[in-house]
Amino acid sequence: MRVVVIICTYNEAESTPKLIEALAEVFPQVKNHEMVALYVDDTSPDGTADIVRKHQKQYKWLRLLVNPKKSGLGGAYAAGMAYAMKELGADYLMEFDGDFQHPPQYIPQLVTKIDEGYDYIIGSRYVPGGSIPKSWGFSRSMLSVVGNLVARALLILPQVHDCTTGFKLSRVKGFMDQFNFDTLISKQFAYKVQLLFYMVNKGAKVVEVPFAFAPRTSGESKIIKNEMKETLRVIFWLQFRNPKIQRFFKFGVVGGTGLVLQTTIFEVLGVWLKILSPSVATVLGGEVAIISNFTLNNLWTFKDYQVKGGRIILKFLQFNFTSLIALGIQFGVLKLGESVAKGSGLVIQFFYFGAIFIVLITNYYIYNKFIWKTSQKAPSSK
Ligand SMILES: Nc1nc2c(ncn2[C@@H]2O[C@H](COP(=O)(O)OP(=O)(O)OP(=O)(O)O)[C@@H](O)[C@H]2O)c(=O)[nH]1
Ligand SMILES: [Mg+2]
């Protein structure tokens, strides 16, 4: 495999010669893969590109791409990755900082994971053995730790412990060669969370390799002040367009309309007019909501998996059956509520909404798993 280590630089003249020498020592340790280093420099005023050019005479594996102006880290990586795939025939792309914060001795450890079949190899600061610099003050450490936790939670990627690291190795075939760089939401550091989200959701086999993120010893930090805000902006758009989130949102809306129907019947017949007992009024309201929910979910929430023709009857019966389970849960909880409430309307309401919550979660699971079977390929894409 040809591994292209992409090093984006802006004013890294001090560390660049040292880093090239360090790579020259480390690359021969990788026996069964071909290592190439690609510097992507945004015409740094301190002449970083000239230093690379000078070393190119000595090292055949050293390549350089110069962008005419500063394009932000995401912009620089987009250009570098496209160049590495198109011009250098890369099989794997490594993202690597040019200021020694990603210590070069970890490169072979990440590369060997290719042999174990991994598509996405993450240099991780937040798994045992990994760390952030001890010299970082409280606020910088907190920004990193909390920022990562927030990103991890909002991306809904609990399996990845370091979602904001910049040290990664990605497979080209089937993954990076299918990524459309025009869709990059941010040209800044936040591009990283988008690539992570893309790779994991594309089904990449992922592994995290611990590494000690070193303190910056020379040059200046280029991290922009509003990086956290920029990362949140990227995550917002990623999730806004995420079909799974959209589906859950639609399910919520449909469930909400069902809830309004059911609650109206419950409140009017069971609480206000007292024509029915609260438990019976709940079940009657539920029946009406079932019909409405099935129709709306089939036409809208699970549109990609829509049931048509004669199968609608079968699926509707199944839906009814699973809804009966839900009604059973509600009935049981409300019965319990009736015995506890001893006539108190407020306590009954508490049990009523508690039961609804349990039922919502159960229903969403059953719909996905058994009714519309969303883990299978959508009928429209078959
Ligand atoms: N080509 C290019 N490289 C950039 C740009 N911004 C940052 N870099 C490089 O990206 C790498 C990471 O940037 P850093 O400023 O070190 O960011 P950081 O490591 O998160 O922050 P520090 O811990 O303060 O160093 C370094 O090699 C930078 O020179 C840019 O706009 N263009
Ligand atoms: Mg740095």
**Per-residue pLDDT tens digits for 267-283:** 999 999 999 999 999 88
From 185, 184, 149, 183, select the one nearest 164 (Cα to Cα).
Answer: 149
Atom of ligand 1 nearest to the CA of 101: 19
> Does 42 contact ligand 1 (Cβ within 6 A)?
yes
**What would the pLDDT profile of 185-234 be if each residue is shown by its tens digit?**
999 999 999 999 999 999 999 999 999 999 988 888 877 678 889 999 99
Higher pLDDT: 377 or 15? It is: 15
Q: Which range has the worst mean pLDDT, 75-89, 164-178, 254-268?
A: 254-268
> Does 187 contact ligand 1 (Cβ within 6 A)?
no
Contact criterion met (CB below 8 Å) for 290 and 323: yes
Distance from C-alpha of 278 to C-alpha of 275, rounded to nearest angstrom: 9
**What would the pLDDT profile of 279-337 be if each residue is shown by its tens digit?**
999 889 988 988 999 999 999 999 999 999 999 999 999 998 988 888 899 999 999 99
Sorting pLDDT into bands at 50, 70 and 90, what band is 382? Answer: very low
* Domains in the chain with CATH codes: 2-240 (3.90.550.10), 243-381 (no CATH)
- Residue 278: partners with Cβ closer than 8 Å, 6 or more residues away: 266, 270, 271, 334, 337, 338, 348, 352
> pTM of the prediction?
0.84
Residue closest via CA to ligand 1's atom 31 equals 72
Q: What is the mean pLDDT of residues 34-56?
A: 98
> Does 72 contact ligand 1 (Cβ within 6 A)?
yes
Contact criterion met (CB below 8 Å) for 44 and 10: yes
Contact criterion met (CB below 8 Å) for 150 and 85: no
Atom of ligand 1 nearest to the CA of 99: 27
